[in-house]
Structure 1
Amino acid sequence: MSTDWKPYEDGSSLGWMGSQGGTIARDEDLAGQVRLTYELDDSRSFHAITCSVTGWLLHHRFFDNAEAAAAAFDAMKPALEELQSQLTEGGPKSPAEARAGGPLLAAFMARFS
């Protein structure tokens, strides 16, 4: 498993509006399967983190300050690496795989809610 996070699409998404309506300030990808995006809008004290694991998870978190959002962004990276290592690449290939992934996804979301 690679733990080499890279700028998503070579950084071309930075400065654009993100899915939660803020400006994308950080956007990183791991092995084309995991993405972590940080958006902000200082005019309304809005900070959002969106993470995804292809075929498995899309999860949003919201903060009212940059420090908490930046700390969460960094804390989520190793947890996403661990989660990805336990899931089938691209999503479940059977109902049994989906059921096995459920508790892993639930634990991640409970930890990072």
Structure 2
Amino acid sequence: MWQPFVQGRTIGQSGSEAGVILLDEEHCEGARITLERDGGVAPFAITCGIYGWMVHTRFFSEKEDARRAYEDMKQALDVIVQSIPFKSDPDYDTKMKATTRAIGEFVELFP
């Protein structure tokens, strides 16, 4: 489900937080997560997003904390992107509300 973003060619490049990209992965269902070091705000930053839905960034002072959070966030993003319904789904409206709620809960769980 998760693969290196653009075959890993972004590793070592500058990321959205002006840091050096250490990890950068994309989910086949439309999400991305990136770990950077030495950005403009903090020693480590994780930026993630679900295409067309949200972008969220967290900051860390310790590499190990950032690495753990990166893995936890990947798992949570996986659950959310797999729950996004197709417009043809008969329960589309109900599932859309659940997806919106799950995104809000993600942001609260990973402040």
Indicate the SS of the match to 2:34.
strand
Instruction: Report the alpha carbon displacement of residue 24 of structure 1 after superposing the two structures with TM.
Output: 0.3
TM-score by length of 1: 0.81
- State whether structure 2 residue 85 is matched by structure 1 residue 81: no
Equivalent of residue 25 in structure 1, options 22, 25, 31: 22
List 4+ stretches of structure 1 deviating above 4 A. Answer: none
The residue type paired with residue 24 of structure 1 is I
SS in 2 for 1:83: helix
Instruction: Report the Cα offset of residue 104 of structure 1.
Output: 1.6
CA RMSD after TM alignment: 2.1
Q: Letter of the aligned partner of 1:71 in structure 2?
A: R
The reply on whether 1:36 has 2:36 as its aligned counterpart is: no
Secondary structure of the structure 1 residue equivalent to 2:11: coil
Is this contact kept in 2: 1:45–1:65, CA < 8 A?
A: no
Aligned-residue offset at 1:88? 4.0
Partner amino acid, structure 2, of 1:105: I
May I ask how many residue pairs the two structures share in their alignment?
Answer: 103
Deviation at 1:102, TM superposition (A): 2.6
In structure 2, which of residues 13, 16, 41 is the aligned counterpart of residue 16 of structure 1?
13
Which residue identity lines up with residue 8 of structure 1 in the other structure? Answer: F
Gaps of 5+ in 2: 87-92
